[in-house]
Amino acid sequence: MKYITGQNRTQTFIFPVSLDQAISADNEVRIIDVFVDSLPLKEYGFRLDFGENGRPAYHPADLLKLFLYGYLNKVRSSRDLEKECSRNIEVMWLMKGLKPDHNTISNFRKDNPEAIRKVFMATVQLAKNLKLIGGRLIAGDSTKMRAQNSKKNNFNQAKVDRHIEYIDKKLAEYNKELANADGDHEQAKKEIEKHLKRKDKYSKIEQQIKETGQVQVSTSDPDSRQLITRNNITEVGYNIQTTVDAEHCLPIDYKVTNENDSKAMGDMLVRASEIIGDTSFTALYDKGYHTGTVYL
């Protein structure tokens, strides 16, 4: 039986194929390359002024190209993007053989959230210029994302009060034990010290709630909040609001929030009107966005 056979891996070619020739003319990586090179990165907030001493830094344009490639191809993990730099010929072409590690990739994403958002808005402007956004019918919805902060490490005033009340009760018991000269004094002293440290921790959280005016405080992921995800089920996380234009189903806006949907529609519609350039569009939202009349 005959089969299609591959080439000998050890064979040497008289006319070697360059990396550029291996990438087709209509490959999306060429669009990413041209698009990023056309952006005013310094105006967007990317840092371009690095000192001459020490190890040279990666240019933000190269890391941004890698980030956009991952976004378009559903490769979001920094470790996976690091691997793609060594095994994916498209990424090798795009990065010109550069191989940043996952920490560099992760820090770039973490240190430039607002600049990356401006890049997203630049893609929306490009789509407008190419007549890909109709601006007549838009739809909005949200996606709940769980944070790295557990419910255990999320506090409000009532929860802090319960913890402090419990600690005060235990401290009273151990102090009474010491006063009566009964039991293991050393163990009681250790327990008192442990509970005093815990009380100090909750007192600091209480002080933060009062000083900031925030209803909740998350200690592991400070920006996250406990949200109702469905019915009466709650999770500590984020609520990402997204607006999509109906012409080609392109997202034109997003906003990461720590609030539920009930009061989100007004702000998203104002933002949509600024992006589209007028207020003559129709907006579709479900009944979870019940804020009444919104004036644009």
Instruction: Compute the average pLDDT of residues 84-112.
Output: 94
pLDDT digits (tens, 9 = 90+) for 36-45: 999 999 999 9
Helical (H) or strand (E) element with 117: helix 113-129
Average pLDDT value for residue range 233-243? 92
Q: Please report the pLDDT score of residue 139 as a whole number.
A: 96
pLDDT at 201: 93
Q: Where are the domains of the chain?
A: 28-122, 137-149+218-296, 157-214
Q: In the predicted model, what is the mean pLDDT of the chain?
A: 89
Confidence band, pLDDT 50/70/90 cuts, at residue 237: very high
Cite the DSSP H helix spans in 130-255. 157-179, 185-212
Quick one: pLDDT at residue 188? 80
Mean pLDDT, range 96-109, rounded to an integer:
94
pLDDT at position 182 over 70: no
pTM of the model: 0.74
Higher pLDDT residue, 269 or 230? Answer: 269
Please write the tens of the pLDDT for every residue from 149-164: 889 999 999 999 999 9
> Residue 188 corresponds to which tokens in the numbers above?
């009681």
Please report which residue ranges of 130-156 form alpha helices under DSSP H.
none
269 vs 161: CA distance, rounded Å: 39
